Amino acid sequence: MKNNTINKKEIEKFTKIAEEWWDPQGKFKPLHRFNPIRISYIKKNIINTFKLNQKIKPLKKVKILDIGCGGGLLSEPLSRLGAEVVGIDASDRNIKIAKSHAIKSNLDIKYLCSSPENFNSKTKFDVVLNMEIVEHVQDVDFFLKSCAKLLKKKGIMFVATLNKTLKSYLFAIVGAEYVLRWLPIGTHEWDKFVKPNDLVDILKKYDLKLDSLDGMKFNPIKNEWNISSDRSVNYIGKFIKI
């Protein structure tokens, strides 16, 4: 039997609220608030790694695969920066929303309903994004193995997820879901959170070497997210395929 990374319960959870992807005050409000720091981090690291110097479209001709793209919140800004973006998601509803919004935004993004293990691509990508997705899949090891196959040699994989700590339970679940109501209750399951060391060990098996590992922290006074040395809750890793 073929391995499968799709967690039907998780897909259903996000399909139910798919209509709200582009509502900055809706169920995805925290993600809209989170998005600027993700875009900035990805852009800066791609430019530095590939030594790009385009001024107007800095990511011109960079082939990016956005895995678990949802409604396209990351795909669209990266496309505007000049990247050639393909977005895949296991929820058909998410893909329909993403396609519709890209048309309205006059952006040429290829969206497909697929998981990485079922995605047949003739091209390998310069960049693979796994942003806030590994904590929602059925089999993290097989998922990352499937993603690694889609990345070019010397390409970059970004993985953003939640650390498995007591602090992450208190902040990401108790705080964000039950107290502040930033997220619908049940968005996250602490058992699915991944420790950075475990992530690094898995990716090492598939020829991906850790280049940098940073924390992402919310500043309630400024009402914005920042890159931080504190990786105890949210963190993002940049890996290079060797």
Summarize pLDDT for 62-111 with one digit per residue, the tens: 999 999 999 999 999 999 999 999 999 999 999 999 999 999 999 999 99
On whether residue 39 sits in a domain, the answer given is yes
9: its two tokens: 């319960």
The domain of 12 spans 8-241
On whether residue 1 sits in a domain, the answer given is no
Q: What's the pLDDT at 121?
A: 93
DSSP annotation of 124 reads P
pTM of the model: 0.94
Q: Which residue has the higher pLDDT, 220 or 18?
A: 18
Q: Which of 206, 72, 71, 202 is nearest to 150 (CA)?
A: 206
pLDDT in tens, 202-215: 999 999 999 999 99
Domain count, the chain: 1
On whether residue 20 sits in a domain, the answer given is yes
Q: Report how far residue 20's alpha carbon sits from residue 9's, in angstroms, rounded to the nearest whole number.
A: 19
Amino acid at 164: K
- Phi, psi dihedral angles at 87 (to 5 degrees): -115, 130
Residue 5: which pLDDT band, with cuts at 50, 70 and 90? confident
On whether residue 18 sits in a domain, the answer given is yes
On whether residue 176 sits in a domain, the answer given is yes
Q: What's the pLDDT at 163?
A: 97
On whether residue 3 sits in a domain, the answer given is no
On whether residue 193 sits in a domain, the answer given is yes
76: its two tokens: 């669209």
Q: What's the pLDDT at 2?
A: 56
CATH number at residue 96: 3.40.50.150
Residue 1: which pLDDT band, with cuts at 50, 70 and 90? very low
CB contact set of 66 (below 8 Å; sequence gap of 6+): 72, 74, 75, 78, 85, 86, 87, 88, 129, 131
On whether residue 93 sits in a domain, the answer given is yes
